[in-house]
Amino acid sequence: MNVADTIRRLHDHRLWTRAKILVAAHGCTEAELRHPFEMGVGSLFATIVHLWGAEMVWANVIEEGDPAFMIPSADAFPTIAALEEAWTPLDARWAKLLERASDATFLSKPFVRVRDGKRFTTNAHDIYLHVCTHQHYHAAQISNMLRQLGKALGPNDLIVMAREQWRD
């Protein structure tokens, strides 16, 4: 397995975990989705919107679009269904971006992100990894929120996905 395969595998896991998150979110009432928590971005719904926003931020950076795009507030989406709809074209963008993961020159290319007026430079390789590890971080918070609501996300480790996909 090479670097590009590893990057793609982590992104497969990101999508698999997100699917589990969205299934769990569909099992919540509107009040549960918006219930305030002192973790994540303040609620289950806001944390899920934050995941979409982070993917949008970094797609824009790698595509050399708006480097100052800001993650929207939870108010940007009225429902989980609306958020899922917004993820469809974003997933297509990421699929195209991941095609470039085999290009070592591209992976080492620096990209600029602007946040609060400050410029931050990061190479594509680290951005690809960050998008995945960022979701892992927030998936743990989402799992905790769901547990407090009496619900469960279920196991979402990479090894669980790998075992589900294993063919004897």
Question: In the structure encoding, which two tokens stand for residue 15, read together?
Answer: 């999508």
Q: Positive or negative, the Cα torsion across 163, 138, 49, 61?
A: negative
Q: Cβ of 47: how many Cβ atoms within 10 Å? A: 22
pLDDT confidence of 40, banded at 50, 70, 90?
Answer: confident
What 3 state SS string does the chain have? CCHHHHHHHHHHHHHHHHHHHHHHHHCCCHHHHCCECCCCCCEHHHHHHHHHHHHHHHHHHHCCCCCCCCCCCHHHCCCHHHHHHHHHHHHHHHHHHHHHHHCHHHHHCEEEEEECCEEEEEEHHHHHHHHHHHHHHHHHHHHHHHHHCCCCCCCCCHHHHHHHHCCC
pLDDT tens-digit map of 3-38: 999 999 999 999 999 999 999 999 999 999 999 999
Question: For residue 125, what pLDDT is reported?
Answer: 98
CA dist., res. 77 & res. 51, Å (int): 13
pLDDT tens-digit map of 104-131: 999 999 999 999 999 999 999 999 999 9
Domain ranges of the chain: 3-165
pLDDT tens-digit map of 64-100: 999 999 999 999 999 999 999 999 999 999 999 999 9
Question: For residue 92, what pLDDT is reported?
Answer: 98
Q: What would be the CATH architecture of the domain defined by 3-165?
A: Up-down Bundle (1.20)
CA dist., res. 143 & res. 153, Å (int): 5
